[in-house]
Chain A
């Protein structure tokens, strides 16, 4: 016994000496991760600061009137982004209107044993592939395939329901509605993927309990499973909204870039991101500042969406 204990002490000391470099590496790793974590915040602050700095002349010139003014006139150097803010919010809203029911429906369908896994896996895979398509490809597809294809249908809607203000314009080659539909397809994978993960991670007891109490499948889905997964579903919707608000390329190509806030969904419109993408190349002076001001507004808009998402998710988690 006694002969063994000093030996084991030695090995402990030995090993502690041996592992000295490991400890050092741990320390280094710790600091590296701290630096990485802090730099995320620093980068955000840096971007905000530089945006502010370049936007300052426009902020001084137009103040908050920038948000309500509908003029974007580079000749007289008068700028306002009301039509763009309106277009950004409306296009994102319309996109969600189509993508949320579809996305949640697909997520439920994929998780609730409607189909054998052999069929579900490829469908889920295809949904994820949709997310991998670059937005410029969506834009091109919209220009050359989708918008010409839906045009006759929209013209019929316009003829039949033209008295409703939303459908009052004769649909031309580019319009907010078509752009929103493409946007809906673009944000669909986000909603499906996250909602599906939420639904699969629900405790199986919920499902079993509901069935055990005699609930039908329909009741189980609508009364038990969807409410239980609501925080995840809303989280996915908010993420999708964030993407829809900031989407640039596809919208710049499809939305029509008309500087007017029109009540009709079939009229061409404009969004903040599309305005920046379009005009940045040739902008200088006050126009450039105004574009940066627009970017700042977009950033605040996205921030609000995220805060809202946090609040809603938090509230629903408390309900659970």
Chain B
């Protein structure tokens, strides 16, 4: 009896040990710092067409460009099976934090690195971080109004809506911008993002430049004078779709994908421009690019520009211990900015101009 129960206990213990060891093994290879482990598995891959070699890269950051990054990395992996890139869209703030801590191979952010972060990075790693723009995007006003298909908003209109000065759809200022359209006598429900986001940063960056009465500043999250907050692009979209009379801001690619009605807005030159990748690209035309590529155009003077447009950046280390990683990363970025252009446009992002791509490639040369 006792020996039997002891035996049973022993087998139980053995199983337990086996299970816990299995757990330990499965947990082990998750740290991306370990430069040695993953490449060994991938050597069997066919020689890469683009000279990508083999590497496993991990990145984290901005959610705004996440759809295009994931598409690029997946497409690149199809052509170069040796290079595997995982991207976690944890948000720009967390992306920068992980990049500074060195737990990822690259970071991604919607707002250029702050001077203090640069200084901190330099103190820790002994060199400047490398920041390169990857793509641009626009933020649009999406709305839900029965019978109104192409809403136009003048500066007074959208500044008034976001600051709470205009509260009814049939406000004279909105009627004036939409001649011949019958606007309902309905309260405006403004929907903003409740989570911190690069989309909010671009949106408020524009409001700060364009609206004299906007006092909340520009940031990934701000203190909103009016409206209700919803989490994520999907939350804002859901709320707009369900609430007649709602208007909110979402990123263009998201609005396009979900078939939301988007308002055309007045730009700095007084022209009413509907959102489009061309309009977004026009916002960056003729701008001089600073050395750190931190180009921000909160309110483009170009008459063809859709004014709420911004860039998004990747953050790279100046030196990679595993040279294969550095080389692979360079190859991926180059591929994304050239071959990947079509995929970006398809998703509603603004591809970078050729001249900017050349500059980015020069900058990438610094990566060791």
The distance from the CB of B107 to the nearest CB of chain A, in whole angstroms, is 13
The distance from the CB of A315 to the nearest CB of chain B, in whole angstroms, is 41
Write the B65-103 contact mask toward A (1 if CB under 8 angstroms, else 0).
000000000000000000000000011111011000000
Judging by beta carbons under 8 Å apart, are B229 and A268 in contact?
Answer: yes
- Known contacts A170-B187, A258-B228, A258-B229: A281-B219 contact under CB 8 Å: no
- Does A143 touch B at the CB level, under 8 Å? yes
Judging by beta carbons under 8 Å apart, are A256 and B219 in contact?
Answer: no
Judging by beta carbons under 8 Å apart, are A259 and B224 in contact?
Answer: yes
Chain B residues, CB < 8 A from A284: 93, 96-97
Q: Which residue of A lies closest to B192 (CB)?
A: A257
Judging by beta carbons under 8 Å apart, are B229 and A256 in contact?
Answer: yes
Judging by beta carbons under 8 Å apart, are A278 and B91 in contact?
Answer: no
B178-234 residues at the A interface, CB under 8 angstroms: 187, 189, 191, 194-197, 216-224, 227-231
Chain B residues, CB < 8 A from A94: none
For B6, give its contact among A21, A274, A278 (CB under 8 Å): A21
Write the B233-246 contact mask toward A (1 if CB under 8 angstroms, else 0).
00100110011001
- Does B26 touch A at the CB level, under 8 Å? no
Interface size on A, residues (CB 8 A): 34
- Does B2 touch A at the CB level, under 8 Å? yes
- Known contacts A143-B238, A148-B242, A283-B93: A173-B228 contact under CB 8 Å: yes
The distance from the CB of A286 to the nearest CB of chain B, in whole angstroms, is 13
- Does A10 touch B at the CB level, under 8 Å? no
Q: Which residue of B lies closest to A15 (CB)?
A: B2
The distance from the CB of B17 to the nearest CB of chain A, in whole angstroms, is 16
Chain B residues, CB < 8 A from A148: 242
Chain B residues, CB < 8 A from A76: 217
Task: Report how far A196 CA is from B125 CA in the complex, Å.
Answer: 62
For A174, give its contact among B91, B195, B222, B228 (CB under 8 Å): B228
The distance from the CB of A121 to the nearest CB of chain B, in whole angstroms, is 35
Chain A residues, CB < 8 A from B194: 252, 257, 274, 278-279
With contacts defined as CB atoms under 8 Å apart, how many contacts are there between chain A and chain B in the complex?
100
Task: Report how far A113 CA is from B239 CA in the complex, Å.
Answer: 45
Judging by beta carbons under 8 Å apart, are A75 and B243 in contact?
Answer: no
Judging by beta carbons under 8 Å apart, are A75 and B227 in contact?
Answer: no
Judging by beta carbons under 8 Å apart, are A71 and B196 in contact?
Answer: no
Chain B residues, CB < 8 A from A71: 223
A122-180 residues at the B interface, CB under 8 angstroms: 143-144, 147-148, 170, 172-174
For A74, give its contact among B96, B220, B238 (CB under 8 Å): B220
Judging by beta carbons under 8 Å apart, are B189 and A281 in contact?
Answer: no
Judging by beta carbons under 8 Å apart, are A75 and B218 in contact?
Answer: yes
The distance from the CB of A114 to the nearest CB of chain B, in whole angstroms, is 39
Chain A residues, CB < 8 A from B90: 281
Write the A24-50 contact mask toward B (1 if CB under 8 angstroms, else 0).
000000000000000000000000000
For A258, give its contact among B2, B227, B239, B243 (CB under 8 Å): B227
- Does A228 touch B at the CB level, under 8 Å? no
Q: Which residue of A lies closest to B93 (CB)?
A: A282
Judging by beta carbons under 8 Å apart, are A282 and B222 in contact?
Answer: no
- Known contacts A148-B242, A172-B189, A282-B93: A257-B229 contact under CB 8 Å: yes
- Known contacts A143-B238, A281-B196: A74-B231 contact under CB 8 Å: no
- Known contacts A74-B196, A74-B222, A259-B224: A281-B93 contact under CB 8 Å: yes
A271-302 residues at the B interface, CB under 8 angstroms: 274, 277-279, 281-284
Judging by beta carbons under 8 Å apart, are A143 and B242 in contact?
Answer: yes
Chain B residues, CB < 8 A from A282: 91-94, 195-197, 220-221
Task: Report how far A278 CA is from B230 CA in the complex, Å.
Answer: 9
Chain A residues, CB < 8 A from B97: 284
Chain A residues, CB < 8 A from B2: 18-19, 22
Judging by beta carbons under 8 Å apart, are B217 and A256 in contact?
Answer: no
Judging by beta carbons under 8 Å apart, are A173 and B243 in contact?
Answer: yes
Judging by beta carbons under 8 Å apart, are A75 and B217 in contact?
Answer: yes
Judging by beta carbons under 8 Å apart, are A253 and B235 in contact?
Answer: yes
B139-174 residues at the A interface, CB under 8 angstroms: none
- Does A310 touch B at the CB level, under 8 Å? no
- Known contacts A75-B223, A76-B217, A257-B194: A172-B93 contact under CB 8 Å: no
The distance from the CB of A182 to the nearest CB of chain B, in whole angstroms, is 15
20 contacts between A and B (CB under 8 A): A19-B2, A73-B216, A74-B221, A143-B239, A170-B187, A172-B187, A172-B189, A172-B246, A173-B228, A253-B230, A253-B235, A256-B228, A258-B224, A258-B227, A278-B231, A281-B94, A281-B195, A282-B91, A282-B195, A284-B96
Using CB atoms and an 8 Å cutoff, list the residues of chain B in contact with chain A.
2, 6, 90-94, 96-97, 187, 189, 191, 194-197, 216-224, 227-231, 235, 238-239, 242-243, 246
Q: Which 8 A-B pairs have the closest CB atoms?
A: A282-B196, A257-B229, A75-B217, A257-B194, A173-B243, A281-B91, A282-B93, A268-B228
In the complex, given contacts A173-B189, A278-B195, what are 12 additional A-B residue pairs having Cβ atoms less than 8 angstroms apart? Answer: A18-B2, A71-B223, A143-B238, A170-B187, A172-B243, A174-B230, A257-B194, A257-B231, A274-B194, A281-B93, A281-B195, A282-B197
